[in-house]
Structure 1
Amino acid sequence: MKTLILAAGALTASMAAADTPVLTVYAPDYFASEWGPGPKIEEMFEARCGGCDLVYRIGDLLPRLLLEGARTEADVAIGLNTDITLKARASGLFAPHGQDNNALTLPIEWTDDIFLPFNYGYTAFVYDKTRLAEPPASFDALLDAPDELALVIQDPRTSISGLALLLWVKAVYGDEAGAAWEKLAPKVLTVTKGWSESYGMFTSGEADMVLSYTTSPAYHLIAEGDDTKAAAIFPEGHYFMAELAAKIARTDQPELADAFIGFILSDAFQAMIPTANWAYPAVMPEDGLPEGFERLGVPDRAIFFDETEAATLREVALAEWLAAFGR
């Protein structure tokens, strides 16, 4: 009898698990890590959805989705970026997000009905005030700085921040971008595959400046009580980047996917972003930004290429970069 009771209990639990709707969200590694925003988002959404299970599948987003195609198990993708939306859109894998773009508080106009921003930032060179008392005050000043100035940047072929720098330089210097890279190259200590390696080298004292974001010092200031990190703000402007979410067109959980996309613009989600993803929220929270964000440098000008412009410029800009770095 005891065996029958245990078996019945196991069967009931199995049936309950089978009845639990699962929302599968593809996300980058950092997003779902313990220090990323993913765990908090999972907790908050599951509390709202009334008995669903949010499951992350982490890895390179777009390459994986393109490889899987119509066979993908994803319901939502989160963590895409503004410089790959043309390729993503052409895949036909994504459906309209159905949200009101007028609710967004971005520094640029956003009209895309497929890809929904959940946060944004500006590419910048971050420095340590204890190592560099007088940082370059402009992009021109950075290029003219002594070659002893040690920078760490990311590879535009493997890093979204590296690609943003590529487009930033192209926006500022146009046809003279190749010459700008030639001037910058001697100051570059190394080019890393991704942001984490670069930033780790910077925080360990191996470099004077690192390619990062204007909001990066907020982490040190708020989480560590360290005000020695700052972003150099250039009058030429800074490249704007947004991180995006999108609904998978062939999802087998359309209502749950829609609920998640709608949750992204909620005040609870957006209020969590500044200190969970160390970025600006796509919609200003009701209580504003956390204390400490007012001390960050903010560019006077947001530089941004739309997806068509970025795709048109990328090949030429990458060739200029490769010529300067001999790779």
Structure 2
Amino acid sequence: MKALTLSLLATSLTLSTTLATLSGAVAEEKPTLTVYTYDSFNSEWGPGPAIKSGFEKNCGCTLEFVAPGDATETFNRLRLEGKNSKADILVGLDSNLVADADKSGLFTEADINTDGLELPIDWPSKTYVPFDWGYFAFVYDSDKLKNVPQSFDELINAPDDLKILIQDPRSSTPGLGLLLWIKNVYGDQAEEIWKKLQPRIVTVTKGWSEAYGMFLEGQADMVLSYTTSPAYHIAAENKTNYKAAAFAEGHYMQLEMAAITKASKHRELANQFMAYLIGPEAQKVIPTTNWMYPVALPEADWPASFADLVKPAKARLFDSEKVPDLRKEALNEWLEALSK
């Protein structure tokens, strides 16, 4: 009986070992799709968790987000890693960085259908695929700020105690957006505008999250953000006191894009993810997690919190090919003005 028991035990152990080995082999064969993105995208309140869960249901893969910082920082990390990067996809490339992305030679065209994209401008590229868009704006608390500037001129000439928070254009896409917004409006006079704005700036933060958090803590009257930011407060907090100031000069646009890297070892999966990102399931997530306009969701299906948002009188955007030279010039003007 003991011999039989030992024999059965040995057989059982052998079978368990074999099953464990097979299970491990299957787990090892399950591919991991690595997506570089910015920190707020992958935060618990951002779209990342829902998109990961939704995509993994059908991809037979593991979706891994890597979020080293703001969108500009994430792109810079990918550039440093170059062809040796483990990233399959970059999510959150700013439209103002497309020329730099082209110059890097790191990205390849996606094999997906983009005919259903609805954007305020024509965007034919299939290498850099928009997944949301919006307008930069200064956000304020209407319970605290009664005389709201309606233009850059009014902001410059507002009472001395009106203060603003902005982000660094070298590390933050909103910061870069403001830099180009002022350059687009004022051209060669941009440096003079910065000199006049400088006394109003409480601080220049590295990224959006820090600046917006300081604003909510009451450390400034206005913060550089988006026209869609008030939608968050309406939907999540039932607060209507946070608003975006409508500037008479119009507002600078941002398109957020995704792109597949040439280094990707999972090209088919990468294309599946790109299609999912602009598909109905992910697009329904975008407005109430990333608080931007979706690119492929009918306006009738937008959240109610988007209904009364500021609609700029004019949409401003530089041609992406002109941005590198303009950015260099504008950054020098910004640094010179703020160093005084």
What secondary structure is seen at the aligned counterpart in 1 of 2:130?
strand
What pairs up with 1:181-192 in 2 under 5 angstroms?
Answer: 181-192=194-205
Amino acid of the residue matched to residue 19 of structure 1? E
TM-superposed deviation, 1:299: 0.8
Q: Which runs of 5+ in 2 are unaligned?
A: 1-9
* In 2: Cα distance, 1:75 partner to 1:130 partner: 46
TM-superposed deviation, 1:250: 3.0
What secondary structure is seen at the aligned counterpart in 1 of 2:193?
helix
Amino acid of the residue matched to residue 164 of structure 1? G
1:16 aligned onto 2:21: no
TM-superposed deviation, 1:159: 1.1
Deviations 1:233-269 (A, max 9, x none): 1121101011110011232111111111111221111
* In 1: Cα distance, 2:245 partner to 2:137 partner: 7
Corresponding residue to 2:49 among 39, 53, 63 = 39
Equivalence for 1:29: 39
1:62 aligned onto 2:80: no
Amino acid of the residue matched to residue 33 of structure 1? S
Equivalence for 1:322: 335
1:301 aligned onto 2:278: no
* In 1: Cα distance, 2:306 partner to 2:212 partner: 20
* In 1: Cα distance, 2:100 partner to 2:299 partner: 35
1:125 aligned onto 2:173: no
Corresponding residue to 1:53 among 47, 62, 67 = 62
Amino acid of the residue matched to residue 36 of structure 1? G
Corresponding residue to 1:218 among 221, 231, 241 = 231
What secondary structure is seen at the aligned counterpart in 2 of 1:184?
helix
Amino acid of the residue matched to residue 297 of structure 2? M
TM-superposed deviation, 1:28: 1.6
1:174 aligned onto 2:207: no
TM-superposed deviation, 1:286: 7.4
* In 1: Cα distance, 2:248 partner to 2:114 partner: 29
Superposed CA RMSD in Å reads 1.6
What secondary structure is seen at the aligned counterpart in 2 of 1:90?
helix
Given the two structures, how large is their TM-score scaled by the length of structure 1?
0.95
1:76 aligned onto 2:89: yes
* In 2: Cα distance, 1:253 partner to 1:241 partner: 29
* In 2: Cα distance, 1:7 partner to 1:286 partner: 56
TM-superposed deviation, 1:46: 1.1
* In 1: Cα distance, 2:174 partner to 2:104 partner: 23
Structure whose CA Rg is larger: 2
* In 2: Cα distance, 1:34 partner to 1:254 partner: 28
* In 1: Cα distance, 2:18 partner to 2:240 partner: 59
Equivalence for 2:5: none
The ranges of structure 1 where at least 4 consecutive aligned residues each deviate by more than 4 angstroms after the TM superposition are none
* In 2: Cα distance, 1:101 partner to 1:10 partner: 43
Equivalence for 2:274: 261
Given the two structures, how large is their TM-score scaled by the length of structure 2?
0.92
Deviations 1:291-311 (A, max 9, x none): 111121111211101222211
TM-superposed deviation, 1:100: 4.2
1:205 aligned onto 2:248: no
